[in-house]
Each structure stands twice: as structure tokens, then as C-alpha cells.
Structure 1
Amino acid sequence: MKKVLYAAALLFLVTACTPKTESKPYAWEDDLHQRLLTDFSRTEDEVKDYIRKYIPDVSDEQMRQWEASKALECMTLDGEKRYFRNAAPNLFRVDSACYKIKAAKDGVSLSGSEKVNMENLPEVIASVKKSGNPITAPKRMRVIYTLTVDSNAVPAGELIRCWLPYPRTDQSRQQDVKFISASESKYTLSPQDCLHSTLYMEKRAVQDQPTVFSESFEYTANAEWHNLKPEDIQPYDTTSSIYKEYTAEREKHIIFSSRMRELAAKLTAGETNPLLKAKRIFRWVNDNFPWASAREYSTIENIPEYVLDNHKGDCGQVSLLFITLCRISGIPAHFQSGFMMHPKAWNLHDWAEIYFEGIGWVPVDQSFGIPTFARNADEEYFFLGGIDSWRMIVNSDYGMPLMPEKKYPRSETVDFQRGEVEWEGGNLYFPKWDYHMDIEYLDN
């Protein structure tokens, strides 16, 4: 008996004297490092394998030249050179010589959204000119949006918190939003003044089973087009709240650096009309920054500066560059985003709005830019003051709080589109879940 008591006492002393193992406290630096590892996941051999499909004898010297020009994006992480996951395809979008080589082999064709817009834009322009109403060409859609968290991504029994995108109800060109159902009986729709529109739900994880959140709704999307003319633009009331707020800097991606100020001054030199200033900026960004697949925005310190440095940008990146240059030039501008809902071509998408005195806010889709299929001047600058019928507006700004607030930093700290998920132990980053949208196009 004494031996048993002695053993128990010894065990107690060892346990009491052994420090408890605690989980490492959250640090953004560690989180950012993991996000970069996720985005920069390609080896040089993998990148070369893709390039050899078009340039069979690609050399190390060529690789170094593309890296130096930023056409081939890479960085050193944990002492190892790693390439952006879409670095190789982007090379053939960004480098003009590589683009020509790929185009000669594969040909050049319109994207799915461009094919839809070839029909939609003339419909919109004709309708606006006939009726005088800038909001037209409605398209009604029924949507089922599903977010699926991987099995065992969190321990069984733990509560998972989920925010799904939901169409805004405060936009004139987005009408008759109708909630149909949610996967959970308890859900919360964000208030109208929340700049990210969400549907929030909670659910407990079950061992070896994916955790599924879904919502369904209907809404009507309209095109908007303003037949803008320089003489219709009135001088700004520079004392107004709109002018003061939307021509100001905005952390952390609308910063008036000396480089940005000099660029804006150069682009708008000698011009005083806001519309003509905006056209110069729009055209310059369109002509100099080809679309390219983007790394996660949360890993970029300043997105417009990144676009200038890397000579490329996706929809949100070039939109933020356009917005920054407009604000510096005295043109109120803000970020807007959600989805492009074109049949067979839906995707995440970002754009902008700018404000003209006497007209109001008008949409600007910088990445759709000057359509290659444009047949006249109206179509050429359609997306400066216009937007097609196939959109879902979710956000009226970037990087704003969710409702209810998240405990941990978002997976997408700038935009909000795919959704957000977290549990008590931390944020669930994109590799731990997936999303899908089913769209039914209804007769109007």
C-alpha cells in the first residue's frame, strides 16, 4: 500500500512541476507566412514544365530575365525560391513576347463574359437612348450558394461560424431581393448599412463529416449606362461630405504616395473636366496593365503600388489603382464588388463607382476596360459610366467589419465574396473549405 501511495505522490509532483503545453498565441506574421506559402506553391521545375509547352528550349537565363522584369512572380520563403501558383500562365499574359508566342499556337478568342456582353451592351445602349432611364435590361436570377468546410477541419463538437455573401438591398440597379431559405434555422442578415452584405450562420462540426452551409435567394440585376458628355459635368461642391470622404486617402490601399501623386498629375496634365480626366486614367490603366491571376490580397501591403511594380493586375487590383488616381485627381471614387453572373462565366469580380456632380454615382469596370469587340465609341467607353446586366453587388467598400464581427482576421482582409469561416481555435483559411454557386436564370 505504501508503494502505491508513494507512486501516486511522485506522479502528482511530476505533473505539478511539468509546465503545461499551451497553444501558441495568434500572430499575424505567422498567419501571413502560411498564406504566402499557400500562394507561392510552385517549384521552378513545375513552372518550366508549363513554359516548355510554348517555349521548349526555355533557358535559365530567360527565367532570370522574366523574374527581374516581374513577369514571372516568385519570392524566397524559408530559404527556398518559390513561384506563385499561377506564375507560369501569368507569364504569357504579362510578357508581350510570350503572349504572342502563345497566341500564335492557341489562337485568341473572346472569353465567356465577352461573348455575353457582345449582345448585352448594344441592348443596354439602345434601351437607355430610347427611354432616357440609365437603369435597364433586367435579368432575374435564383441562386443557391454553398460553402463546405472539409471534414475534421475543426474538432468534432466545436462551433463553426460562417458568413456567406448576400445581394445588397440598397442599390438602385439591384432590385427585388427575395430570401428563400438557409441551411440553418437560425441565421442573421447584416443590416443595410453594413458595407459587406452577409448572411451569418453557426453549426457544430461532426466527426468525419463536412460541415455544409447554404443559402438560396432571388434577385433582379439591371445594367446601368450613362451617356456621359463633358459638358454635362458640373463643378464639384468641394465642401460636400461626398467630395471630402471620397477624395481622401483610405488605409491601406488608397494612399497618396509621391509616386501616385506624380503619376496622377502626369495623366491629367492640362485637363480640368472630371470626365475627361477619368477617361485618361481609365485608358492608361487599360493599356498598361493586362489582366493576370492574382495572389491573395491579404498578402499585399499596398495593392495599387503592387500593380505599378508588377505591371499587371486582376479586377480588384486595377480598380483600386483607378480609384486612387481618381481621388488624387479630385474625382470622388469608391470600391464595389461581388460577382459577375454571366451565363457559364460566373466568377468573383470587383469594380468601382465614381461621382460626377449633376449626374451622381456611375459604375466603372476597369478590368473589363476597353472591349476588344467594341464596334463604336459608345461601346468603347461603355465601362466608364456603365456596367452590364450580369452582376451581383455584395460590397460597397473594402476591408470593413463584418456583422457580427469576426474574432480572427479574415481570409480575405480586403474584399468579401467567397465567404468567411472561423471557430474558437482560429480562422479557417481557403484550403480548408470550398464554395459553389448554382444559378438559375429566370424569365423576367
Structure 2
Amino acid sequence: MGRSDDFHFLHMGLPEDVLRRKYHGDFAGAAAAIDRHLSRPDTPEAMRRSLTVQREILQRLPLDYPLTRAAALALARERIPDFSEEEFDALENDCRIDWIYVNGEKRYFDRFFDSLCKTDTAIAARAGVRPAGADGHDESGLLERTLQQMRRQGSVSARLCCRASVRLRPETFRKGARVRAYLPLPCACDAQSQICIESVSPAPTHISPENAPQRVVFWEEVMEEDHPFTVEFSYVRTAAYTDLSGPRPAPPDAPPDFDLNEQPPHILFTPYLRELARTLTADADSPLEKARRIYDFITLHVRYSYVRAYFGLEAIPDACARNLTGDCGMMALLFITLCRCAGVPARWQSGWKAEPDFCGAHDWTQFYAAPYGWLYADPSYGCGAAREGNETRRRHYFGNLDPLRMAANTAFGADFDVPMDGWRADPYDNQVGEMELDGRGLRYEEFLRSKEVLSCTLL
């Protein structure tokens, strides 16, 4: 296992002397307190591993919150000159502007304004930007046409060709350094076939098997010249339509490998989530109805928001349920955890939203409900449809997906089959790639990433 295995102990909690300093934003003091605990021979191994992760989190957390209040207001006023302090305060009090304490002073999330524009059409219009909507926004109409075709035909396939690359930033490159690079690849699953690696540059050190839980192409070399690491691949994605209101099919031939367990540090059956699952699914007469009620709760009540790097997130499903905000991954983890609490097997998938004019990281889920077997649910797309008032589309993403995506990961928190020596930028998922320099895992600001859809043809 790689170093990210320590994240399995993140939920152990913190000693009070560390916790007080962390919440106050005294990150240097908290790190020093952690060092004192790590120096003690009687610190239990589980706590030692948790503290090791927490110490790295303390180094990274302030990087996502660089803005003072004055700087945050100035950023908003660059786009909306009449953006008032009262408006800023109201949005902050409504939990729509994220902040933490840094040395006792409020510091604001660097993407707070992007988040407002993504989910608030009025603010986007005032800023003069095209409203992006939440996940599943369909300005071109392609998605809606595809979903209608799925319902008419029973399935739709798309052949996609994509390119991804990573590259060291010029200031990060060092001649003679040992560099390792990882990029996601489409994996084998029930919706993907005809997977082909079209080109890889430079020649790869390793390519994961198609059934790897987080599939990658991997390079390792001593770099004499700066250059990108690039892969092009093609595949066919097929989205079969399941009409949950129609006749029930015959039971599957064999039961699946049920996934009902807790999975530290995030998929945990906390008292709040147990009670929430019990309340939501009371009197539900089937696993399908239980999952539907959980999906309805998330899509109708959780507000989409950009969040800080997952490296620094803790108790993700619990936080999403308490705050009723989150991005696609947080919503997916909340759905999975509540389903498992209610006795409904559920599991993770992620990769890209892949359309002719847009390619972005995205997460979704599967759940098992007899007699249908494994079904899909995309709470984030459902949330976006609800915001747009499109109830047909919201209902579609309970039980179904679309073919305009690429799955690279079938397990949350799984390691690469060639583990990194250092910390991953995202210890749980891989959608944009990872890099390592002389054994040290690089943070996202230290390397460049790109991904694009070269062609997309509906079949």
C-alpha cells in the first residue's frame, strides 16, 4: 500500500490540544502539538497514523483559503461593481461563502465566487458570465436529446476519443529529478467496451489492467528535459435505459457481491446518518423505494457548491448531510452511506463528464435493488435538474445515467496498482492525474493538467 493508506485512520479524531489550535487556525501551533504526540513512545499506532495525515492536512488547508474579507469583496466587485458588503454577509450567513479561521482571522475560499456563479443564475447574469448551472446543465440540448433517445430506443451508445496530459510547472522542474506520473484510463465495467489506448507519450512504464479499481497509465523516469506525459484513448460507452415504472424484470441469475460495509474514513454509520437513514426510509417496502427516498432527499435539499481539496475534508457524508451543501463527490458519498445504513448495497464510480465541448471530473454511484440488479444514481445531476425545474431529468438519474461520460474508478479510496511513494494530491480518487518528484507527491498547484474530448459520436 502507498502512503495514502494512512487515510484509513483519519477518523480517529484529534487530541484536544491539537483540535483547539486547528479550529482557531493556529496551524503552526497545531503541527507542533502533533509533533509532540508523535515523539511520545506511548502514542497508539492508530492515533500516530491519523496524526501523520492531519499534519499534512495542516500544511495544505490554508492554501484553499487565501482571501481576506477585503480581498474577497474586491474579487466579487471586479465582476459585479455594486456587490455590497451586506450582500456578502447575507451569502456568508446562508453558508454560500466558505471560510475558515487562519490565526484567528477569517479567510475565504478561493473559488467562492465561481461557486456562486455556477449555481446562482442571478449572480452569474450580474457578473456577465454564461450561467453554468449545476452538473447536468445542458445548454446545447445534446444531453436532453440523448436522454429522450434512450427512453425511445432502450439504450444509446457513444464512441468517444479523449486526450489527457500532466506536466510539471516550469518552476517545479529540476533536471535529473526522478519523476513519476499517473493519468486515468477508462476501465472495464458494464457500460464501457472497445477500450483502446490509441497513443502514449513517452513510452509508458506500466498500464493498469482494465479491471483495476483505479485504472492508470504510469510513467517513471529521470527527467533531463521538461516534457508532458500524454495519453489518447477511445472507448464505447453504452447507457441502457431501465424503466422503473414499467414491468419488473426477472431476478438476476446470480446475486452480486453486496457492498454494505462501512469504509473508513468517510463511509461511516454515524449516529446522525443512521437516524437520518431510518427517518427517510421509514415504511419503505423495498430496497428500491429506500434508495429513491434517499435520492429525493439529496437532490431536493442539498445545494451544489465547490469545495476545498478532498485531501483536507473529513467525515464527508456527515458534513454534507449536516450542511446540506456539497459537490458531486460529497453527494455521491452521502447517497452511498445512507443506502448502506438502510441495508441497500451501494458503491462508487467516477471519471469524467465527457461531451464534445466540455470535459470535467465527475462522480456518481450504483446501488443494488432486486429484481433489477445494479442500478445507477447520479445525485449531482439530479440536483442540477431540480434547480432547473426539470423533474423528468431529475427522475431519470435515479436508475439511469447517460453515455456522455468516462468511468476510470470503481472504488473510492483504492490505491493505484503501482502506489505512489508520497502523498497523492487526491488520496481518494483519480480524475485529473497525479505526479511525484523525487518521492514527494506534488500538490495540484505544482503541476499542470489537461483533459479533452477529441471526438464524440452517438451510435
Alignment TM-score > 0.5, same fold:
yes
Tell whether 2:291 aligns with 1:278: yes
Whether the 8 Å CA contact 1:143–1:217 is kept in 2: the answer is yes
Deviation of 1:59 after TM superposition, in Å, equals 3.2
- Which structure is larger by alpha-carbon Rg, 1 or 2? 1
Sequence identity percentage = 25
Correspondence for 1:171 among 189, 199, 204:
189
Whether the 8 Å CA contact 1:300–1:306 is kept in 2: the answer is no
* 1:258-291 deviation line (CA, Å, top 9, x unaligned): 1001111111112122222222111111111121
Deviation of 1:316 after TM superposition, in Å, equals 0.7
- 1:173–1:267 CA distance, 2 compared to 1 (3 A): same
Correspondence for 1:395 among 401, 409, 430:
409
Partners of 1:241 and 1:300 lie apart in 2 by: 31
Partners of 1:328 and 1:231 lie apart in 2 by: 28
Deviation of 1:58 after TM superposition, in Å, equals 2.6
Partners of 1:57 and 1:221 lie apart in 2 by: 44
Deviation of 1:74 after TM superposition, in Å, equals 0.6
Single out whichever of 74-83 and 393-402 deviates more from structure 2: 74-83
Q: 5 Å matches for 1:208-227?
A: 210-227=226-243
| Equivalent AA in structure 1 for residue 324 of structure 2 | H
Correspondence for 1:198 among 216, 228, 245:
216
Deviation of 1:187 after TM superposition, in Å, equals 2.6
Partner of 2:427: 413
Partner of 1:242: 257
Whether the 8 Å CA contact 1:366–1:383 is kept in 2: the answer is yes
* 1:153-188 deviation line (CA, Å, top 9, x unaligned): 1532011011110000x2121110111221122431
Partners of 2:192 and 2:452 lie apart in 1 by: 19
Tell whether 2:170 aligns with 1:151: yes
Pairwise CA RMSD of aligned residues? 3.1
Q: 5 Å matches for 1:3-402?
A: 27-52=52-77, 56=82, 58-59=84-85, 63=88, 66-91=91-116, 99=120, 102=123, 105=126, 113-114=137-138, 115-128=141-154, 136-168=155-187, 170-206=188-224, 210-229=226-245, 232=248, 242-243=257-258, 246-369=259-382, 371=385, 377=392, 379-402=393-416
Deviation of 1:64 after TM superposition, in Å, equals 5.2
Partners of 1:301 and 1:139 lie apart in 2 by: 37
Whether the 8 Å CA contact 1:113–1:345 is kept in 2: the answer is no
| TM-score, length of structure 2 as denominator length | 0.79
Single out whichever of 137-146 and 103-112 deviates more from structure 2: 103-112
Which ranges of structure 2 fall in alignment gaps of 5 or more residues? 1-34, 39-50
Whether the 8 Å CA contact 1:230–1:275 is kept in 2: the answer is no
Single out whichever of 330-339 and 264-273 deviates more from structure 2: 264-273
Query: Aligned to 1:72, what secondary structure does the other structure show?
Result: coil
Query: Aligned to 2:380, what secondary structure does the other structure show?
Result: coil
Q: What is the aligned residue count? A: 402
Whether the 8 Å CA contact 1:233–1:274 is kept in 2: the answer is no
Single out whichever of 367-376 and 79-88 deviates more from structure 2: 367-376
Whether the 8 Å CA contact 1:143–1:216 is kept in 2: the answer is yes
| TM-score, length of structure 1 as denominator length | 0.82
Query: Aligned to 1:381, what secondary structure does the other structure show?
Result: helix
Query: Aligned to 1:417, what secondary structure does the other structure show?
Result: coil
Partners of 1:298 and 1:104 lie apart in 2 by: 33
Which ranges of structure 1 fall in alignment gaps of 5 or more residues? 1-23, 129-135
Partners of 2:381 and 2:436 lie apart in 1 by: 33
Partners of 1:116 and 1:228 lie apart in 2 by: 24
Deviation of 1:408 after TM superposition, in Å, equals 1.4
Partners of 1:56 and 1:282 lie apart in 2 by: 38
Deviation of 1:343 after TM superposition, in Å, equals 1.8
Query: Aligned to 1:248, what secondary structure does the other structure show?
Result: coil
Partners of 2:251 and 2:62 lie apart in 1 by: 49
Query: Aligned to 2:182, what secondary structure does the other structure show?
Result: strand
| Equivalent AA in structure 1 for residue 151 of structure 2 | I
Deviation of 1:57 after TM superposition, in Å, equals 6.3
Whether the 8 Å CA contact 2:432–2:451 is kept in 1: the answer is no
| Equivalent AA in structure 1 for residue 197 of structure 2 | F
Whether the 8 Å CA contact 2:423–2:442 is kept in 1: the answer is no
